[in-house]
Chains A and B, each alone.
Chain A
Amino acid sequence: MAVTQDKPTKRTRKSEPAMEKAELLGAYSTMLLIRRFEEKAGQLYGMGLIAGFCHLYIGQEAVVVGMKHATSEGDEVITSYRDHGHMLACGMDPKGVMAELTGRAGGYSRGKGGSMHMFSREKNFFGGHGIVGAQVSLGTGLGFSNWYRANDRVSLTYFGDGAANQGQVYESFNLASLMKLPVIFIIENNRYSMGTSVERASASRDLSLNGSPWGMASLSVDGMDVMAVKAAGEVAVAHCRSGKGPFLLEMKTYRYRGHSMSDPAKYRTREEVQRMRAEHDCLDAAKKMLEDLGVSEADLKKLDDDIKAQVQEAADFAQTSPEPELSEIWTDVLVEGV
């Protein structure tokens, strides 16, 4: 497949929608869960219940949810430190995620990982990585293990526009292309690597072409449109599963909050953020589509209430779960008893 900047996703939508009503409702529900979860996490951070680094995913929800709907159970997911949305989309329990944010024994890493370091063997979620770009080589290794075992799985390797400038990303592109590994590299281009706009950080003006020296097939996608993401994801998944090697997706997206909780966001205007929220919000768009498909306002309100309750339950659990036992400090350094 040639490198392309087409947006077949839009064409696809005109002919047949990437999701029928029931599926779209499910996708909307997951996006809403992520949005409400992240809002709650921001709140708990403000109350001092969450500390350290906390990078919120608000604005970017359509990316992970659309990709989730394009993939199958067993496909691996790995990402950077902005990882709460990915975990929830993978089906990890919001209680365990929130309790990890508060550093409690009920968290996915029993309080020893924190916001940036959570994993689920059961849900095939491989973290949660704090070193920008490191997850790209690791995700290539997940794809490698699928190639080695000759199974049908695909590795979804997420990274930001900032990581897209790291050297090991291109080492990984080369390795994955050379060995034809089933890896979907997903650049979540939210326009800012911390406070540096993509224009100031990358001489590449079109990140979807960053795999072109290796002949990597790619698409640039409206990452604020969950249907477009799913449609592009299906193209990428089919490509990888058929043994053609890796695929690069550039998701054009936007984060509404700062890079982390301590980011004053002086590098962009309030108007820019407001415009994105008002005109391109993934939840608003999905909600409108659902209304057009005949979902009642009452049903949508009930969904919102249910999700709020679910998130509140997670927040309550995260505050009542005890801190880890002090003896935990010495466990899990090495696998013992060998």
Chain B
Amino acid sequence: MATEILMPALSPTMTEGKLSKWLKKVGDDVKSGDVIAEIETDKATMEVEAVDEGKILSILVEEGTEGVPVNAVIATLGVAGETAKAVPAAAPKAELPVAAPKAAAPAQAMKPEHHEIAEPSWGETKPTTVREALRAGMSLEMRADPDVFLMGEEVAQYQGAYKISQGMLDEFGPRRVIDTPITEHGFTGMAVGAAMNGLKPIVEFMTFNFAMQAIDQIINSAAKTLYMSGGQMGCPIVFRGPNGAASRVGAQHSQCFASWYAHCPGLKVVAPWSAADAKGLMRAAIRDPNPVIFLENEILYGQSFDCPVSDDFILPIGKAKVERVGSDVTIVAFSMMVDVALKAAEILAGQGISAEVINLRTIRPLDVATIIESVKKTNRVVSVEEGWPFAGIGSEICMTVTEHCFDWLDAPPVRVAGLDVPMPYAANLEKLALPQPNWVVDAVKKII
């Protein structure tokens, strides 16, 4: 019986890829482990191995085809004349956690549905992925200031575990784009020491989960030294990398650290959502003379947004953005949850409820004024975060609103947060653990 070879998912967040090369042709015999094709994702080019033995009966996707969805049939294998059964090709060996092939999700361009909020105009925009925007932000600053450099695991020769730093080694050379061993505590301390001596390091953590190894240097050394030195010795440094849940990577790789870092005086904490957020805030973070925690999201890396192309484009740290104007309720979110909030607002609009959505952009210092101004208008607030509820950012938002505009509230503030459990691996349980648009809809309807 013939088997179908399916387009494999090569990373937890891959939804489609380019079939760049076939290494076998119709009629070739293959056995288990043979490399049959090369597939290119936005992160890497990887080899696909055959799982079963047999003869290539047909090739259904020509090499060079882009945007092949995960789980599409790309070839069939067996003996001539057989019927086919679906079996995915083996996911290749990789350093990054690899998910089993799963139902293809359509690639989404997450564009804000409403553009009526006036920000200073930065002129021409073009569709840009968050990944490209982060890279552009770093590269622009590195061109302008020789004291800025990037270090971390796999940032140079490997071109970045998530390809954020792709091409930067070529442009800036090995002195400014530096591969480190897997030694977060040591290289974080080293970068903080370099910052105390006047350099401006960008430290990439492969994920913020690994930064826990280094959290002593981030808090005790980077955040407190300015104060302990009576203002003599600052620490101009950016700690950046993916934060929170990606997809199916389990409890130790899926935690949101926003409230951990936001708790500490001496740090600024930034969490971009769109490509413009990523580019504009990255530049501001690098220029800031203080230590900045820059929380990215792996799922957002490949998503496209309109982003200003101007080389002068920058966003201020500490300023939120109203992504959608509304009058009945204020929904406050950051990072990936801005998308969840906007989807919820769209559903609510269909039900006659007008929701205003605030993208925090910066968590500390919190833009209290924008939140309060909105709540004074809508009289209701719902916070949305993917992190845990206890002592989370939502607690801070709700208390801030209570302190500043209690008399304007028509209902108690409500939190939507990730479930208070370590992240489960199973697909259905993981989905259950992270806020969905309907959770936000339900939360809003409880107070309206």
Interfacial residues, chain A to chain B (CB-CB below 8 A): 76, 78, 107-113, 117-121, 126-131, 134, 136-142, 144-145, 148, 167-168, 171-172, 174-175, 178, 331-335, 338
The answer to whether A332 and B193 touch across the interface, beta carbons within 8 angstroms, is no
Q: Classify chain B: how many residues form its interface, as a range.
A: 35 or more
Instruction: Please state if B193 and A137 are interface contacts (CB–CB under 8 Å).
Output: yes
4 pairs of A and B residues whose beta carbons are closest in the complex = A141-B193, A137-B189, A171-B186, A138-B193
Roughly how many angstroms separate A332 CA and B217 CA in the complex, as a whole number? Answer: 18
Q: Scoring B residues 19 to 56 as 1 if CB is less than 8 Å from chain A, else 0, what string do you get?
A: 00000000000000000000000000000000000000
Q: Which residues of B contact A118 (CB under 8 A)?
A: 229
A131 touches B216 (CB 8 A): yes
Most B CB within 10 A of own CB, among A118, A136, A334? A334
B181 and A178 contacting across the interface, CB-CB below 8 Å: yes
- CB distance B228 to A112 under 8 Å? yes
- Please tell me which one of the listed residues A107, A127, A140, A335 contacts residue B289 in the complex, with CB atoms under 8 A apart: A335
Would you give the shortest CB distance from B443 to chain A, in whole angstroms?
A: 34
Q: CA A49 – CA B122 in complex, angstroms? A: 58
B367 to chain A, nearest CB (A): 16
Q: Does B310 contact A (CB under 8 A)?
A: no
B183 to chain A, nearest CB (A): 4
Provide the residues of chain B in CB contact with A145, threshold 8 Å: 193-194, 197-199
Q: Decide: B289 and A126 in contact? CB cutoff 8 A.
A: no
Report the bound CA distance from A76 to B199 in whole Å: 14
For A107, list chain B residues within 8 Å (CB): 230
Contact yes or no, B288 A138, CB < 8 A? no
Q: How far is the CB of B206 from chain A (nearest CB, A)?
A: 16
Interfacial chain A residues near B175, Cβ < 8 Å: 148
Is B425's CB within 8 Å of the partner chain A? no
Minimum CB–CB distance from A107 to chain B (whole Å) comes to 8
Contact check, B196 vs A335: say whether CB atoms are below 8 A apart: no
Residues 181-239 of B contacting A (Cβ, < 8 Å): 181, 183, 185-199, 216-217, 220-221, 225-234
Chain B residues with CB under 8 Å of A108's CB are 229-230, 232
Whether a CB of chain A sits under 8 angstroms from the CB of B266 is yes
Q: How far is the CA of A168 from the CA of B218 in the complex (A)?
A: 14
Known A-B contacts A131-B220, A171-B186, A335-B290; the reply to A141 vs B229 at CB < 8 A is no
* B290: chain A residues within 8 A (beta carbon): 334-335, 338
Complexed CA–CA distance, A178 and B227 (Å): 33
> How near does chain B come to A262, taking the closest CB pair, in angstroms?
22
- A134 contact from B187, B199, B221, B289, Cβ within 8 A: B221
Query: Counting CB contacts under 8 A, is B265 at the interface?
Result: yes
CB B71 to nearest CB in A, in angstroms, measures: 42
The yes or no answer to B294 lying at the interface (CB within 8 A) is: no
Residue contact A172 to B230, C-beta cutoff 8 Å = no
Contacts A141-B192, A141-B196 given; indicate if A168 touches B186 (C-beta within 8 A).
yes
> Which residue of chain A has the shortest Cβ distance to B178 in the bound complex?
A179
Additional pairs, 13, CB under 8 Å, beyond known A137-B193, A144-B199, A174-B181: A108-B230, A112-B227, A112-B230, A118-B229, A120-B232, A134-B217, A136-B189, A138-B189, A139-B193, A141-B195, A148-B199, A168-B186, A178-B181
A136–B185 Cα distance when bound, in Å, is: 11
Chain A residues within 8 Å of B265, by CB: 333-334
A337 to chain B, nearest CB (A): 9
* Minimum C-beta distance from B67 to chain A (A): 41
Question: With A141-B196, A145-B198 in contact, is A174–B227 under 8 Å at CB?
Answer: no
Chain B residues with CB under 8 Å of A174's CB are 181, 183, 186
Residues of A within 8 A of B227 (CB): 112, 332-333
Output the nearest chain B residue to A138 by Cβ-Cβ distance: B193
Choose one: A112, A129, A148, A175; the contact of B183 (CB below 8 Å).
A175
The A-contacting residues of B in range 217-270, CB under 8 angstroms, are: 217, 220-221, 225-234, 265-266, 268
Instruction: Contacts A129-B221, A138-B196 given; indicate if A332 touches B187 (C-beta within 8 A).
Output: no
8 Å CB contact of B190 from A76, A78, A140: A140
Q: Which of A113, A167, A335 is in CB contact (< 8 Å) with B228?
A: A113
- Contact residues in A for B198 (Cβ distance below 8 Å): 145
A332 touches B195 (CB 8 A): no
Tell me, in angstroms, the Cα distance from A140 to B189 when the chains sit together. Answer: 8
Q: Enumerate 9 A-B pairs (CB-CB under 8 Å) in ascending A order.
A: A121-B233, A127-B225, A131-B220, A134-B221, A144-B194, A148-B175, A171-B185, A175-B186, A335-B289
Q: Which residues of B contact A121 (CB under 8 A)?
A: 232-233
Asked if residues A332 and B216 are in contact (CB atoms below 8 Å), the reply is no
For the complex, give the distance between the alpha carbons of A148 and B175 in Å. Answer: 7
Please, which residues of chain B bring their CB within 8 A of the CB of A110?
Answer: 230-231
The residue of chain B having its C-beta at the shortest distance from the C-beta of A117 within the complex is B228
- Say yes or no: A142 contacts B193, CB within 8 Å: yes
CA distance A107 to B228 in the complex (A): 11
Contact B266–A333 (Cβ < 8 Å) = yes
Using CB atoms, name the residue of chain A closest to B149: A148
User: CA A136 – CA B289 in complex, angstroms?
Assistant: 23
Cα–Cα, bound, A134→B268 (Å): 22
The answer to whether A138 and B192 touch across the interface, beta carbons within 8 angstroms, is yes
Q: Which residue of A lies closest to B265 (CB)?
A: A333
Q: Is B195's CB under 8 angstroms from A127's CB?
A: no
| B187, B216, B265, B290: residue with the most chain A Cβ atoms closer than 10 Å | B187
Q: Mark B331-343, 1 if CB is under 8 A from A, else 0.
A: 0000000000000
A240, chain B: closest CB distance, angstroms: 16
B125 at the interface (CB under 8 A from A): no
B166–chain A nearest beta-carbon distance, Å: 23
Closest to A121 in B: B232
A175→B193 contact, CB < 8 A = no
Shortest beta-carbon distance, B145 to chain A, in Å?
A: 13
Contact A332 B231 (CB under 8 A): yes
**Alpha-carbon distance between A120 and B220 when the two chains are bound, in angstroms:** 18
Bound Cα distance from A30 to B227, whole angstroms: 29
Asked if B83 is at the interface (CB within 8 A of a chain A CB), the reply is no
Residue of A nearest to B201 (CB): A141
**B370: CB under 8 A from chain A?**
no
B226 touches A126 (CB 8 A): no
The interface residues of chain A lying within 8 Å CB-to-CB of B196 are 126, 138, 141-142
